[in-house]
Amino acid sequence: MTVHAEAPTGLFELERRALAVRESILAIGAGPIGTHVGGSLSAADILVALYFDVLRIRPEEPRWDGRDHFILSKGHASAALYSTLAERGFFPREELDTYGTASGRLMAHPTLSVPGIEFATGSLGHGLSLGVGLALAAKRGLRDNRVFVVLGDGELQEGSNWEAAMSAAHLGVDNLVAIVDRNRLQISGSTEDRMGLEPLTDKWRAFGWNASVVDGHDFAELVPALRDAPGGGRPAVLIADTVKGRGVRHLEHRKQGHYAKLSPAAYERALAALRAAA
């Protein structure tokens, strides 16, 4: 029942786009202010699956009325979002070089002035509530816009998410899909050591959501799961198992990669590791 703006994208094409997005993330990490490298790399495949297959969007008309809405609630991963938007044609790739500099508009947390960004995020625990509002507006307006929100796993420690989760189920917004980037790390260490989230799937189910676990780096699993998530009378959440730093072997599963300003040598090493693994 899902209607797609384009024919399904081949897995090879998605892998190719994901590699390009990860290269851009590393380049941003090597820029003047660095970036949240680890959480951007973990979210990259989710964003590519959404922007190159699932979302009904028009890059040349970002505010098209019929669009699906996307909110990156974990706004720290702006490098992944900007890279994906540029790759998808919302703005030129060259603009990524201006990330965090006064000569450009690419604030280190997503901001409204960037084409394709609907809500400025970065303060954690806002995106799901915004998603509830957008989904409710579409439902009551009898429009078929869908809403996808990417949440960090550490972000779920913010209580506002659970106000949002409760209201989404109560209001029956089954056009809302949350994707948890479950990379299991936050800045100080393991989510389970810092403030445990498990049993995470049970929590969402107890709040009235359809919840399932997917591999957040396997497009063959991720794309169908995202396509099938909307509908069914309840909001849906995909717990996407991911790896912080995914794609750069020496950054994977490491909290040290949470935020990085890569030196030229570190950038070359990371890029080589990324391309070797691709």
Partner 1 sequence: MTSPTAASDREAYRATLLELARSDSRIWCLDSDTGGLEKTFQDELPHQYVDVGIAEANLMSVGAALASTGILPFVNTMAAFASARALEQVKVDIAYHALPVRIVGTHSGFSAAHLGPTHHAQQDIAAMRTLPNMTVLTPADAAETVRMVKAAAYLPGPVYLRIGRNATDPVYENETDFVIGRANELRAGRDVTIIAAGSYPCLFALEAANRLAEQGIDAAVLNMHTIKPLDMPALIKAAGTTKGIVTVEDHSVLGGLGGAVAEAVSVHRPTRVLRVGLADAFCAKPGTHREQLVAGGVSPEHVVSAARAIVHSG
In degrees to the nearest 10, what's the CA dihedral of 92, 177, 245, 9? -60
Fill in the amino acid letter for 243.
V
Contact present, 81 and 32 (Cβ < 8 Å): no
Task: Rank residues 137 and 213 by Cβ distance to partner 1 and give the closer one.
Answer: 137
Stretch that binds partner 1, among 163-171, 177-185, 217-225, 226-234 (CB under 8 A): 163-171
| Residue 166: CB minimum distance to partner 1, A | 7
Q: Is 34 in the site for partner 1 (CB under 8 A)?
A: no
Contact present, 87 and 21 (Cβ < 8 Å): yes
Consecutive H or E run containing 149: strand 147-152
Output helix, strand, coil percentages for the chain, rounded to the nearest 5. 45, 15, 40
C-alpha span between 249 and 246 (Å, rounded): 7
Task: Rank residues 48 and 107 by Cβ distance to partner 1 and give the closer one.
Answer: 107
Q: Is 78 in the site for partner 1 (CB under 8 A)?
A: no
Query: How many Å is the maximal CA-CA distance in the chain?
Result: 54
Task: Rank residues 49 and 176 by Cβ distance to partner 1 and give the closer one.
Answer: 176
Taking CB under 8 A as the criterion, which residues in 123-142 touch partner 1?
Answer: 123, 125-126, 129-134, 136-138, 140-141
| Residue 134: CB minimum distance to partner 1, A | 5
**DSSP 3-state assignment of 215?**
strand
| Residue 123: CB minimum distance to partner 1, A | 5
In degrees to the nearest 10, what's the CA dihedral of 115, 119, 121, 123? 160
| Residue 142: CB minimum distance to partner 1, A | 11
Taking CB under 8 A as the criterion, which residues in 142-161 touch partner 1?
Answer: 159-160
Length of the chain as a residue count: 278
Task: Rank residues 9 and 129 by Cβ distance to partner 1 and give the closer one.
Answer: 129
Residues 106-125 vs partner 1: string with x where CB under 8 A?
------x-----xxx--x-x
Q: At what angle do helices 11-29 and 264-277 cross, to 10 degrees?
A: 170
| Residue 147: CB minimum distance to partner 1, A | 9
Output the DSSP codes for 195-207.
H---SHHHHHHHT
Q: Is 164 in the site for partner 1 (CB under 8 A)?
A: yes
Binding positions for partner 1, rule: CB under 8 A: 112, 118-120, 123, 125-126, 129-134, 136-138, 140-141, 159-160, 163-164, 166-167, 170-171
